[in-house]
C-alpha cells in the first residue's frame, strides 16, 4: 500500500483556530498568542473562509501609532493606513483569502506559498468551508520519512516496474534522504526516466544514480 504523503490532506492540521469577522482587534492578538500561530482564518456563516488576518496585517497599528505620515507614504500605503485604524478582524484581514484544497499536491501548496509570500494556507472544500490549515512546517514533514520507507517505495513503484529483468540487480540505498542506485540494466534510455521518477518521491533529498546499461564500459 502506498503511504507516501502526496496530498495536503496527508499533512494538514485539522484542528484549526479561527476567528469570526467581527472579532475585536485585541481578541485576535490574544488568540494568536494563546495558540502560538502567526495567522488566523476569518470565517463567516457556517465556516466559509472570507479572509486571513496575519501578524503583518496587525503591525500597521503599532507602526503608525501617533505618527503623521507624509503624502508620499499616504499614497503608497493606503491599505496599511486603513489597517492601522482597524478595530475588528474584517477591517484588518487580507481578502480574499489565499487558500488551497485538501486534494492539492504538496508541490502545489508550496508553490502557492512561495508566490503569494504566505506561511500558512487555510484548506477549504469546494464550498469554501474550512477543513484545516497547512503550514510550511507541515510541508516539510515529508522529509522526516524513514530511509527504509523511501527505499521501499523506490523499489516497489519505480525500479521493479522499469527494470523487471536487469542485467545485474539494481541495488537501492537511502542514507539521510539521499538515494543511491547501482546496477546494470538493459536499456540506457530508461535510466534518465528512473532518475526523474525517483526525484519525485516525497521526502527524498537527492538522487545519486550510478546505473549503467548493457554494452557500456
- pLDDT band at residue 1, thresholds of 50, 70 and 90? very low
Please tell me the pTM assigned to this model: 0.77
In degrees, rounded to 5, the angle at the alpha carbon of residue 138 between the alpha carbons of residues 111 and 147 is 100
The set of residues, in sequence order, having a beta carbon less than 8 Å from that of 74 and lying 6+ positions away, is 81
- Residue 103 confidence (pLDDT) above 70: yes
CA distance 156 to 146: 16
pLDDT recorded at residue 86: 77
137-179: pLDDT as tens digits: 999 989 999 999 999 999 999 999 999 999 999 999 999 999 9
Q: Which of 140, 95, 139, 98 lies closest to 117 in space, CA to CA?
A: 98
Element (H, E) at 9: helix 8-11
pLDDT recorded at residue 96: 93
In degrees, rounded to 5, the angle at the alpha carbon of residue 184 between the alpha carbons of residues 167 and 146 is 115
| 109 grid coordinates | 501548496
Q: Mean pLDDT throughout 81-94?
A: 81
- Residue 74 confidence (pLDDT) above 60: no
Mean pLDDT of the chain: 89
In degrees, rounded to 5, the angle at the alpha carbon of residue 13 between the alpha carbons of residues 12 and 15 is 150
Amino acid at each position: 500500500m502506498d503511504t507516501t504523503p502526496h496530498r495536503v490532506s496527508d499533512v494538514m492540521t485539522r484542528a484549526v483556530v479561527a476567528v469570526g469577522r467581527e472579532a475585536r482587534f485585541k481578541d485576535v492578538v490574544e488568540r494568536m498568542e494563546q495558540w502560538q500561530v502567526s495567522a488566523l482564518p476569518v470565517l463567516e456563516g457556517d465556516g466559509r473562509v472570507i479572509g486571513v488576518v496575519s501578524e503583518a496585517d496587525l503591525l500597521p497599528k503599532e507602526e503608525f501609532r501617533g505618527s503623521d505620515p507624509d503624502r508620499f507614504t499616504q499614497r503608497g500605503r493606503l491599505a496599511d493606513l486603513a489597517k492601522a485604524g482597524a478595530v475588528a478582524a474584517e477591517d484588518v484581514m487580507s481578502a480574499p483569502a489565499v487558500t488551497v484544497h485538501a486534494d492539492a499536491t504538496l508541490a502545489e501548496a508550496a508553490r502557492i506559498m512561495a508566490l503569494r509570500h504566505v506561511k500558512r494556507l487555510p484548506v477549504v472544500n469546494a464550498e469554501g468551508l474550512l477543513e484545516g490549515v497547512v503550514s510550511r512546517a507541515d510541508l516539510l514533514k515529508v522529509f522526516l520519512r524513514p530511509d527504509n520507507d523511501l527505499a521501499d517505495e523506490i523499489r516497489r513503484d519505480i525500479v521493479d516496474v522499469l527494470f523487471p529483468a536487469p542485467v545485474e540487480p539494481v541495488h537501492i540505498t537511502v542514507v539521510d534522504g539521499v538515494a543511491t542506485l547501482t546496477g546494470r540494466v538493459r536499456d540506457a534510455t530508461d535510466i534518465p526516466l528512473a532518475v526523474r521518477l525517483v526525484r519525485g518521491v516525497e521526502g527524498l533529498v537527492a538522487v545519486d544514480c550510478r546505473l549503467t546499461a548493457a554494452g557500456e564500459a
